[in-house]
Amino acid sequence: MTKIKFIHFRFLPMSMRVLFTMVLLVFGTGYLMAMIQVWESHAGKDGDPMISGKDLMIAYSGNPEGTKLETALRGPMADMLPAEKRQVIFDWLHAGAKQEEFEGKINPIMQEHCIACHNPEANPHLPDLRAYEGVSKVTARDEGMNIPTLVRVSHIHLFSITFIFFIVGFIFSHAYVRPTWMKCVLIAAPFVVLITDVASWYLTKIWSGFAWMVILSGAIMGMAFATMWIISMWQMWFWRVPESISENQGEIPCVHGD
């Protein structure tokens, strides 16, 4: 049976190698930007500036100990007021966020440190913290990202990442990697972990431990991307082609079962 054989990078026309290289360079930059974005939007939610499983648990499933107000005051709003006043708010929240205590203890802090931004005239999209009614909206339990948001993010994620890894895997298919199963694992892994990643976003709502699956999936995806990227670039421009390939005009020799 005749089979279509893979042609090694070095025997592809220069124009194709330039095209592949440019695509890989832009995807590599894009991947770095995506990492920065993940960091920016998740790190620090648990009060520790490093990104952690806890941060992702809070982002996806909410914070069982916390409220939106506490999450914000431990994260992006932490510098808006002195630590002792922050503690007053935490104590009030942990004691049940009672309305009777709001006027005397909490409202003065809000008036002084928060309402410059948190009022509808200044920022209509931010929670209105001028009175108890608005504050009570951010003292409800923090449920994390809601399902409609997850659905929106997951369909974009599934389509765009499939697209990227189809192209990267297609380019990488011109590399010489033995054993063949390893090449196939590298090509398949990003798609498998893409599914486990998106599935864990939803599962984290049921059991927050699935946040680790999100991290593991992301790590495997990143490693597969980096490995395919480096091998492709290396073999395209720097690698000394073994004789078995150059004798074959660049056909990657077929071993049994390829």
Residue numbers of the site for ligand HEC (CB under 6 A)?
A: 68-69, 72-73, 76-77, 80-81, 113-114, 116-118, 126-127, 129, 138
Least CB distance from residue 60 to ligand HEC, whole Å? 14
Residues in the chain: 258
Least CB distance from residue 123 to ligand HEC, whole Å? 7
Closest among 192, 128, 184, 135 to 158, alpha carbons compared: 192
Between 115 and 216, whose beta carbon lies closer to ligand HEC? 115
In Å, how far are 40, 112, 177, 178, 206 from 255, measured between CA atoms? 47, 74, 12, 10, 47
Backbone angles phi, psi at 187, to 5 degrees: -70, -40
Q: Which two tokens stand for residue 209?
A: 């431990």
Between 72 and 223, whose beta carbon lies closer to ligand HEC? 72
112 vs 254: CA distance, rounded Å: 74
Buried b (16+ CB within 10 A) or exposed e, 62-85: bbeebbbbbbbbbbebeebbeeeb
- Beta-carbon neighbour count of residue 181 at 10 Å? 10
Between 129 and 187, whose beta carbon lies closer to ligand HEC? 129
Between 149 and 249, whose beta carbon lies closer to ligand HEC? 149
Least CB distance from residue 232 to ligand HEC, whole Å? 39
Between 67 and 232, whose beta carbon lies closer to ligand HEC? 67
In Å, how far are 22, 46, 229 from 177, measured between CA atoms? 22, 43, 13
Between 59 and 213, whose beta carbon lies closer to ligand HEC? 59
Least CB distance from residue 153 to ligand HEC, whole Å? 16
Least CB distance from residue 162 to ligand HEC, whole Å? 31
Between 97 and 114, whose beta carbon lies closer to ligand HEC? 114
Give me the residue label for tokens 């073994």.
Answer: 242
Least CB distance from residue 125 to ligand HEC, whole Å? 8
Least CB distance from residue 26 to ligand HEC, whole Å? 30
17 vs 47: CA distance, rounded Å: 47
The amino acid sitting at 179 is P
